[in-house]
């Protein structure tokens, strides 16, 4: 069985790309910390949820707990998180809309 994390596009492995995505997301949330929250106990053991509320709706990603120290003390833990039903396509649209803000 192939370790999918080691599959490469010739430049990066999936593991490298996910590490980039996770760290970019963390940094975007830290820069917009008042709109973001952490859900520590969420669905998958060993993972936490880092979300952002935008004017178009939520964006969220599950991240491995090993990255939690990077956001603790910088982003508040959510007390009453409610998933808005967003899909992958919604997240793409919402990320695009963020780059269109003036």
**pLDDT beyond 60 at 102:** no
Give the pLDDT of residue 100: 86
- The pLDDT value given to residue 22: 98
pLDDT digits (tens, 9 = 90+) for 35-86: 999 999 778 899 999 999 999 999 999 999 999 999 999 999 998 899 999 9
Mean pLDDT over 27-36 rounds to 96
pLDDT at 5: 74
- Top pLDDT among 88 and 41 is at 88
Task: Please report how many Cα atoms fall inside a 13 Å half-sphere around the Cα of residue 17, on the Cβ side.
Answer: 11
């Amino acid at each position: 069985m192939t370790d999918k994390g080691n599959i490469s596009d010739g430049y990066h492995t999936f593991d490298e790309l996910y590490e980039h995505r996770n760290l970019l997301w963390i940094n975007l949330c830290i820069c917009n910390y008042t709109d973001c929250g952490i859900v520590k106990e969420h669905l998958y053991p060993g993972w936490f949820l880092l979300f952002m509320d935008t004017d178009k709706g939520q964006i969220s990603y599950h991240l491995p707990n090993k990255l939690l120290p990077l956001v603790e003390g910088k982003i508040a833990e959510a007390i009453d998180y409610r998933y808005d039903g967003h899909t992958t396509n919604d997240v793409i649209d919402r990320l695009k809309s963020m780059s269109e803000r003036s």
